Chain A
């Protein structure tokens, strides 16, 4: 019996050891990050120094969502001179998030930016607990009146433009779209993309496969393969891995990635991508906190503000198409073109938006139907 107990203890010990070095690693990565930055630049003016901490859900090396946020963090540090730190791979819905935030606040960080949807309720509670700290949540919808706001971007604008490029690239007139979950954010993207496709190529259709996962490369890749098997020659996606692009590359098809310019993963297939550019918005938040003028908003930034953009278009795309896309981009930025302008029909041909009308934000935020030209179901 004693032997058995010892063995059990040994297992637990080994396990405890690993978790210990695991957390050691992440805290040291953040603290070394913190100490390596601008600690020497002691600000002369009075009041506590502004320091910003970023909390991310997955490793920043993922080339996608989290990587884009880290690029934004570095940009903000460079532009404001404010010290920043980050910790990544912090799961949602656990005590870890709160622990990291308290740790950062103890170290004097007074701007906390959480970049994953599932942090929302924790941030709301923490904002209450620490009224002097600015909390900004990316991709959520809750806020308070003093120190907790949210930020997101009108990704449908560059999605529309990427659709134009895809529409010009397809010869089979079937475009595949590998998508995570049927929620308004994703559906809005698919619809904007399809409207862009049809602006260039009215005969092309967009077929959607739901993977029921944000991140499972095997399923994402296999979904892309299923669409390629069916005859799609361009693959677009709303997923976090690059698996769909690798399948497109292997099949000699084309690919519209997402989040960041992922051209290095599939150099032949890559067409373009709707991408995030968080830097300028982070500068705004940090400067407002510094000046003591931060007021929570539900910020939904556009291409004009620069939070979303279109990645460079592949060099083999026809110059005429590139010109058309750039014209549309300028028109969107100038406010002359809105991707969701009527007439827009749903999948069954019923009119949902009359000619000339522009969809309001409420309708876009709750969008749960597919436009004409999408193959697939929203439920």
Chain B
């Protein structure tokens, strides 16, 4: 096991961690407002394919990222309209969104499969910082979207904890009827949270096709959207903890292929299951502790709000 191999492990951990973190932050926003969106995988796929298409057509990675975020928001809004507007079952609608997103992405991307990328977001050089041993390659030589993930994590955390908007958003997720009584639009709050969440999932997808593996093919997201959903539970609906969880889950992804060159005899299949096993364990802890203290899940999560049925 050489130093370069260990540094490589951490570089990949941070990179995969950022991928998962962006999508999980989006899911956290929606869930904080009371909307469970199981369509993360579909929104990531749409973000990935639109980023790639725009990259090929316009050769501009930033335009590609922007369009990916807009497409993610648009697709999420479908879920928003059905669940928030029409009060449809959130689980059913979210699952449909995953299938819809994956199918739509495959359809849109049909002519772009296997094409060389038109635009890429390459790692940022931070001058002398990038040359530092260990710290340099791991933190100061990552793709721009990694830093975007960090910024978004801080922003989401601040907005939720210290702004009136964040308070209203959390209230919409805890008790929609009292939020409504207080004069806030539950509909507006929830719809915007779902759309913003979709934009972050779209950015996560764009990270795949603009940096990690700059190409498009069906099945590119490979279930990582589901890990993001699990991550929100793992992080107990707190942006900071979700970030730590993202690094742990990202580490399992990075370790999956590296155990073999490290000479460790351990099935990569078991390692792939680890994020889900950890999440189940956290769910267990939450439900066992629920007798003594309330669950960290938003109280109104999954419940449709209809004023006339109050």
Contacts and interface: CB of A to CB of B under 8 A. Distances in A.
B114 to A, nearest CB: 4
Interface in B165-209: 208
Interface string A1-34: 0011011101110110011011001000000000
B286 interface: no
A143 to B, nearest CB: 31
A93 interface: no
Residue in A14, A62, A64, A217 whose Cβ sees the most chain B Cβ within 10 Å: A217
Contacts of A151: none
A120 to B, nearest CB: 22
Given A18-B100, A216-B222, A241-B217, A229 B113 contact: no
Contact of B87 (A3, A211, A213, A223): A3
Interface in A215-236: 215-223, 225-231
Interface of B is mostly: helix
Interface stretch (A122-130, A202-210, A349-357): A202-210
Nearest to B1: A230
A223 B261 CA distance: 9
Given A61-B110, A89-B218, A212 B8 contact: no
A88 B224 CA distance: 25
B4 to A, nearest CB: 5
B161 interface: no
B217 A217 contact: yes
Contacts of B254: 222
Contact of B260 (A4, A67, A209, A246): A209
B260 A376 contact: yes
Interface stretch (B28-36, B91-99, B231-239, B287-295): B91-99
A4 B85 CA distance: 10
Given A61-B111, A89-B106, A217-B217, A226 B261 contact: yes
Contacts of A227: 261
Contacts of B214: 246
Interface in B139-178: none
A18 B105 CA distance: 11
Given A11-B88, A59-B110, A222-B254, A19 B103 contact: yes
A363 to B, nearest CB: 26
A241 B219 CA distance: 12
Residue in A19, A219, A264 whose Cβ sees the most chain B Cβ within 10 Å: A219
A222 B86 contact: no
Contacts of A7: 82-83, 86-88, 93
Given A11-B93, A15-B100, A221 B212 contact: yes
Contacts of B103: 18-19, 22
A265 interface: yes
A230 B7 CA distance: 10
A18 B104 contact: yes
B260 A208 contact: yes
Contact of B7 (A4, A58, A217, A229): A229
A209 B104 CA distance: 33
Contacts of A18: 100, 103-104, 107
B107 A22 contact: yes
A14 B81 CA distance: 13
B260 A221 contact: no
A246 B215 contact: yes
A62 B114 contact: yes
A218 B222 contact: yes
Interface in B232-260: 253-254, 256-258, 260
A36 interface: no
Contacts of A246: 213-215
Contacts of A25: 107, 110
Contacts of A208: 260
Contact of A264 (B2, B82, B116, B304): B116
Interface string A255-268: 00000000011000
A305 B85 CA distance: 64
B61 to A, nearest CB: 15
A226 B257 contact: yes
A229 B2 CA distance: 8
B12 interface: yes
B78 interface: yes
Contacts of A265: 116, 215
B113 A61 contact: yes
B226 to A, nearest CB: 14
B136 interface: no
B57 interface: no
A15 B99 contact: yes
A61 B216 CA distance: 10
A15 B8 CA distance: 42
B257 A223 contact: yes
B114 A212 contact: no
B218 A219 contact: no
Nearest to A224: B257
28 contacts: A3-B87, A3-B306, A4-B89, A7-B83, A7-B87, A11-B96, A22-B103, A22-B106, A58-B218, A59-B114, A59-B217, A62-B113, A62-B114, A63-B114, A67-B114, A208-B260, A209-B261, A211-B268, A216-B222, A217-B220, A218-B208, A218-B253, A222-B12, A226-B257, A226-B258, A229-B5, A230-B4, A265-B215
Given A64-B114, A218-B222, 17 more contacts: A3-B87, A4-B86, A4-B89, A7-B88, A7-B93, A11-B82, A58-B218, A61-B111, A209-B260, A210-B268, A211-B268, A215-B217, A218-B212, A222-B254, A222-B257, A241-B215, A246-B215
